[in-house]
Structure 1
Amino acid sequence: MKNGDVTGAHLGMVLWAVIVGASFPVVGLLSEGLPSLLLTAMRFAIAALAMLPLVWRRGPRIPGIRALLLYASMGLCLAGFFGVMFWAAHRVSALSMSALFVSMPLLAYGAGRAFGIEPRATCLPAILALGAVGALALALAQSGGDLATLQFGWGEAAFLLGCIASALYPVLSKWGLARGTLSPDAAIRTFWSLAMGGALIALAGLAMEPVAAMAKMQPKDILLVAYLGVFSSGVTFWLMQRGTGVLTPGAVTAYSYLAPFVSMLVLFATQPEVIGWYWLPGSVLVVTAMVLLFRTGTTEPAVSHSDLGSLRD
């Protein structure tokens, strides 16, 4: 595999982190009282429609039954994470959710090892652990260092299951690519996983949320959801699928550590009075982990599909 492909995948994931991190404040602009699951289903539908021209240009072919089942499993991972996240948001503290979320790259690495698509290495787990400590430090800085809200109960256990589901998404993508089940085209994989995930989230929303509440949407809400659908879902999932085709699941999910760092920069730009030294340790650790990940990924390219079988040995 060419170093240029690996470098491009890393740069694409940096862009992924920038879009995701900058989207957090946008979500806060939505009107209160709107059903979260149905909004997410609408967001995924818009994202899938945004991908449709790219998919149609490559030929409007429906995947085979094995591919559809795998896309459904990937969609279930998305539906599971977003569904549990919205449920836990009212039952779990933000600090506890952040602490559990930083485990996702390590979970993806472990699942990748179990599926035989992640090479045995010592540097990547160390980099992931460094990034996790940095991201957790940023979460502590955002909460004012209030450790009293850090706990583990049934709500936290449910959110951890959601994180496991999210970690499995790139693992299943890489596994399907290695077996030749999924399309090698990132846009096609993005479209079908978003379509399946959106359908499952819509079913959950119809069962759990009042559909009439969607009538409260204002024109600005529709524009915000459209933006989130095209960029924060469509483009980001395409970038993730593009990265998954080159990098390992652990390396792809590691860029989730960079998203809170981007959100911190947005916060500083809009509210400079909150800047303090307590943001520095986590920022340094996250940036250091990302630099190490980038350097490791460009000097030791990800394993190609033809070599994936040897990783099980």
Structure 2
Amino acid sequence: MDKQIMHDFIAGPAAKCHVLVVGDVMLDKYYYGEVTRISPEAPVPVTHVTSQKETLGGAANVAHNLARLGCQIGIAGYVGEDYHCQSLTDKLTARGIDFKGLITTDRPTTTKLRVIGGHQQMIRLDFEEDEDMSGPYAERLHNFVAARLNESVDAVIISDYGKGACTEETCQQIIKAANAHGVPVLVDPKGTAWGKYRGADYVTPNFKEISAVLPEKIKNQDEDIEKAARYVMGKFGIKQVLATRSEFGMSLVTQASAYHIPTKAQEVFDVSGAGDTVIGVFALGLAGGLAPEVSAYMANMAASVVVAKLGTYAVSKEELLEVLK
């Protein structure tokens, strides 16, 4: 694979691409500390907090990855009227991400709080309501996406974390509208009801996610992955599959061919957020006119940077250019 093509694309034309991310927007909060004793109140470790951070999560992390690579990003989803929303929008503003598509609802902004002791996650607290979103809120989201598609969008990403934004109605409205405009739609799937993604150009499941929708167990090997991808393409009406396979790399399966891309050898520290990086960079390549196999290889290289970091992380343009040398 010619890395020079990818390097030149990220260095220049990528900045002109417009990508719209729709889905479950989240805020990720981290408390870092040291664990040196057990609580006298209960048999649990006491974490002495030494630092903390808040960062973009879920669909917002996909947008963050794209923003750090220099392209033009819009995001649509649901938030609450609370502190977590303010923190989220402050970070979107700082990164130049257009968040006019965020619909304020009567639910809390989905937030995940993690306590890290040393390098070990001690506990995670989730602040959320995950019932399917419908009615006026959903209608506002659909209208926003339709209006954006009438403007300038080169690719649409549906980032489904199962928190209520990506209902069958919403997914189908987005996919059909994008298809009508000739805009590729990429889906990061969740759960087993993949019928709602019918008509999507690509889904990007990990091995566990694709295994969950199959009638029998498979091994994480090229032949099984290719058969599994063709099964879901036929059953759910999905055009192509980019399956991420942890230490075995990833596989791009189309109607006519299959490409198996080995992982970049290195230490894996934390895989959280790697799927967001993969779909973001893959979509960016497609939006810029790169071939799907070239875009997939570039996404694989970007993921190699992210898994070496602790916590949710968005790869920068400089880091990707460096790894593409």
TM-score normalised to the size of structure 1? 0.29
Say which structure is richer in helix.
Answer: 1
Between the two structures, name the one with larger relative contact order (CA 8 Å, sep ≥ 6).
1
Say which structure is richer in strand.
Answer: 2
TM-score normalised to the size of structure 2? 0.28
